[in-house]
């Protein structure tokens, strides 16, 4: 939800007008689909990465406005918390040496941001959840000073009608409450965009849903929150609970949460936009002057502003996106599954695996979503978030007998999905050198059973066994993580533990 919004109090008339206009947007979208008005295949991908700011002590720094002022680049933007930034990578065509190009652009951009952050005694940390965040850091006062965040928070608090409750039980249990949506700011992620034609959208989205659990198992990087060790990827339960506008009674009735895996495979992009309107009341009933159906009648292309705004307040892990570039509409699948980090190489490896496997599965003659119940895909997602690289997942059996079986995620990836991902990257026209380098990183993680979450947990526990108090061990783990992140070697090659203290020279 990156558009600027105007502050104000919404009355009944505002909500009624918004409801009418958003339904007109949906009707206009249907017409655009029926009239085949969308962009031709472009093989375009894009990337956004959310970042944390931390000081030399490893603790969060509430300085994004100061850092952004020094960066002075449109590629970097605010995010929800004052300790957050977001970097946006311009769209690229999926071909040739695209992944090496992305890696170089990211290293250059993050290196520059790091130097500017250093000017105010802060640094960039690319991680799913900053381990040193405390409850006092995630409060309303530490939301970024941007009107849309205040407005979104006010509307979600009003819809909830009471404190937001956090209750996550993993290795340890966290139970607390919040008066705002500020805990959501702890979740920093990578968003991967893929522009697709309407006739391919459903296959790509279904494929992305099917492999969301695999992405988490491979890339988990958020095992700590508020000093507790929770799930290996604690972002999804945290995001769900910190944005849950349902009071307990509505939860008991089965009303859907705004952070949502979904409940079925789809046959059209329209299905998702229509569900978002049918199931979720608007939070920000802000109306544009455009009349979408009139624009269509006049031969133009509507922006569907109300539909896009509403869509941005429903937090699917694979979100449909409608956009218009140079007067031509297009559709994108926005994959929001992955945490940020640990390194640029790891981020690009995750992206290469995703774009390769989604292409291969979307074009499979026996689509995985026809052989795997949707409920199994959702259970897989939950298991991957809980157990990360050690998760066991349900997957269709190969061969003519059919059915599904449960196997370790690392075996599924190495034996079946990596070859498919390689074939998918070949179909995109990616250079073999890029393909082998970045898929090799994924294979290395599987072979060593190491990802960001497992490294963080192992290093933290070693620090505690070495005598550090819990808070000190988390801070030391964060500092060591940051050091290795900036060195840039992929996480499965990182040595576990902290650097030994330098020897005291003899007197």
Rg of the chain, C-alpha, whole Å: 22
DSSP H or E run through 110: helix 98-118
Is-contact 201 269, C-beta < 8 A? yes
Residues 6+ apart with CB under 8 A from 43: 93, 94, 95, 195, 428, 429
Helices vs. strands in the chain: H and E counts, helices first: 17, 15
Which residue in the block uniquely carries the two structure tokens 């075996």? 411
The DSSP bridge pattern shows strands 84-93 and 44-54 to be antiparallel
Neighbours of 254 (CB within 10 A): 7
Q: What is the pLDDT of residue 479?
A: 98
Is-contact 62 142, C-beta < 8 A? yes
Q: What is the pLDDT of residue 485?
A: 98
Which residue in the block uniquely carries the two structure tokens 């979720």? 280
Q: What is the pLDDT of residue 13?
A: 85
DSSP label of 76: E
Q: What is the pLDDT of residue 420?
A: 98
277/269 Cα distance (integer angstroms): 13
Nearest one of 444, 473, 448 to 459, comparing CA atoms:
473
Nearest one of 201, 221, 220, 191 to 410, comparing CA atoms:
220
Omega before 308 within 30 of 0, i.e. cis: no
Which residue in the block uniquely carries the two structure tokens 């809980």? 386
Residue 473, SS3 per DSSP: helix
295/386 Cα distance (integer angstroms): 48
Per-residue pLDDT of the chain (507 residues; tens, 9 = 90+): 334 445 456 778 888 999 999 999 999 999 999 999 999 999 999 999 999 999 999 999 999 999 999 999 999 999 999 999 999 999 999 999 999 999 999 999 999 999 999 999 999 999 999 999 999 999 999 999 998 899 999 999 999 999 999 999 999 999 999 999 999 999 999 999 999 999 999 999 999 999 999 999 999 999 999 999 999 999 999 999 999 999 999 999 999 999 999 999 999 999 999 999 999 999 999 999 999 999 999 999 999 999 999 999 999 999 999 999 999 999 999 999 999 999 999 999 999 999 999 999 999 999 999 999 999 999 999 999 999 999 999 999 987 778 999 999 999 999 999 999 999 999 999 999 999 999 999 999 999 999 999 999 999 999 999 999 999 999 999 999 999 999 999 999 999 999 765 544 554
Three-state secondary structure readout of 247-306:
CHHHHHCCCCCCEECCCCCCCCHHHHHHHHHHHCCCCCCCCCCCCHHHHHHCCCCCCCHH
Q: What is the pLDDT of residue 14?
A: 85
Is-contact 292 28, C-beta < 8 A? yes
Q: What is the pLDDT of residue 463?
A: 97
DSSP H or E run through 362: helix 344-362
DSSP H or E run through 320: strand 318-325
389/232 Cα distance (integer angstroms): 8
String of DSSP letters for 25-63:
HHHHHHHHHHTT-SPPP--EEEEEEEEEEE-TTS-B---
DSSP label of 227: T
Residues 6+ apart with CB under 8 A from 500: none
Nearest one of 49, 52, 63 to 478, comparing CA atoms:
52
DSSP H or E run through 369: none
In the chain, what's the furthest Cα-to-Cα distance? 87
Q: What is the pLDDT of residue 2?
A: 39
Taking the CA atoms of 349, 350, 351 and 355 in sequence, report the sign of the dihedral they define. Answer: positive
Neighbours of 6 (CB within 10 A): 8
Which residue in the block uniquely carries the two structure tokens 């190491």? 450
Residue 316, SS3 per DSSP: strand
DSSP H or E run through 147: helix 147-160
Find the length of the chain.
507
Residue 128, SS3 per DSSP: coil
Which residue in the block uniquely carries the two structure tokens 């009648």? 297
Q: Token pair for residue 408?
A: 């370790």
Nearest one of 274, 282, 306 to 293, comparing CA atoms:
306
Return the C-alpha torsion angle 414, 419, 422, 426, nearest 10.
Answer: 180
Q: Token pair for residue 505?
A: 């020279």
Q: Which of 339-373 are b and which e, b meaning 16 or more Cβ less than 10 Å from the residue's Cβ?
A: bbbbbbbbbbbbbbbbbbbbbbbbeeeebbbebbe
End-to-end Cα separation, the chain, in angstroms: 61
Q: What is the pLDDT of residue 501?
A: 56
Using alpha carbons only, give the angle 165, 170, 174 rounded to the nearest 5 degrees: 35
Q: Token pair for residue 266?
A: 């789809």
């Amino acid at each position: 939800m990156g558009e600027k919004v105007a502050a104000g109090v919404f009355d009944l008339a505002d909500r009624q007008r918004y409801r009418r206009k958003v339904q007109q947007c949906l009707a206009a979208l249907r017409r655009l689909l029926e009239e085949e008005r969308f962009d031709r295949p472009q093989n375009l991908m894009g990337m956004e990465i959310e970042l944390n700011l931390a000081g030399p002590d490893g603790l969060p720094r509430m300085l994004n406005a100061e850092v952004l002022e020094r960066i002075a680049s449109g590629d970097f933007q605010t995010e929800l918390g004052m300790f957050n930034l977001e970097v946006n990578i311009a769209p690229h065509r999926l071909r040739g040496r695209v992944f090496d190009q992305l890696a170089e652009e990211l290293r250059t951009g993050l290196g520059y941001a790091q130097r500017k952050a250093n000017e105010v005694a802060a640094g960039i940390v690319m991680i799913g959840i900053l381990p040193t965040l405390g409850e006092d850091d995630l409060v309303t006062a530490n939301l970024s000073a941007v009107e849309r965040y205040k407005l979104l928070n006010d509307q979600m608090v009003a819809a909830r009608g009471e404190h937001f409750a956090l209750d996550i039980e993993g290795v340890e249990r966290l139970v607390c409450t919040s008066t705002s949506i500020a805990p959501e700011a702890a979740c920093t992620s990578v968003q991967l965009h893929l522009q697709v034609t309407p006739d391919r959208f459903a296959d790509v989205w279904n494929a992305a849903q099917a492999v969301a659990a695999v992405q988490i198992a491979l890339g988990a990087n958020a095992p700590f929150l508020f000093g507790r060790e929770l799930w290996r990827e604690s972002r999804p339960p945290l995001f769900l609970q910190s944005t849950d506008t349902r009071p307990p009674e509505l939860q008991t009735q089965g009303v859907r949460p705004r952070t949502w895996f979904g409940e079925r495979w789809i046959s059209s992009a329209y299905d998702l936009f229509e569900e978002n309107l049918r199931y979720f009341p608007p939070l920000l009933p802000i109306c544009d002057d455009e009349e979408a159906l009139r624009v269509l009648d006049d031969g133009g292309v509507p922006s569907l502003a109300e539909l896009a705004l509403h869509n941005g307040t429903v937090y699917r892990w694979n979100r449909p996106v409608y956009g218009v570039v140079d007067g031509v509409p297009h559709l994108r699948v926005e994959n929001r599954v992955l945490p940020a980090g640990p390194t640029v190489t790891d981020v690009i490896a995750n992206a290469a695996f995703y774009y390769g496997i989604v292409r291969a599965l979307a074009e499979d003659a026996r689509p995985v979503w026809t052989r795997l119940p949707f409920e199994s895909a959702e259970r897989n997602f939950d298991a991957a978030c809980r157990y990360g690289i050690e998760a066991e997942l349900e997957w269709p059996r190969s061969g003519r007998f059919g059915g599904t079986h449960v196997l370790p995620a690392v075996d599924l990836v190495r034996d079946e999905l990596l070859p498919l991902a390689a074939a998918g990257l070949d179909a995109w026209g990616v250079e073999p050198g890029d393909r082998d380098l970045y898929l090799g990183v994924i294979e290395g993680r599987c072979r060593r059973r190491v990802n960001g979450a497992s490294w963080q947990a192992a290093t933290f526990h070693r620090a505690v066994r070495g005598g550090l108090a819990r808070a000190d061990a988390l801070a030391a783990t964060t500092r060591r993580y940051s050091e290795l992140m900036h060195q840039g070697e992929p996480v499965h090659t990182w040595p576990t533990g902290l650097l030994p203290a330098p020897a005291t020279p003899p007197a």
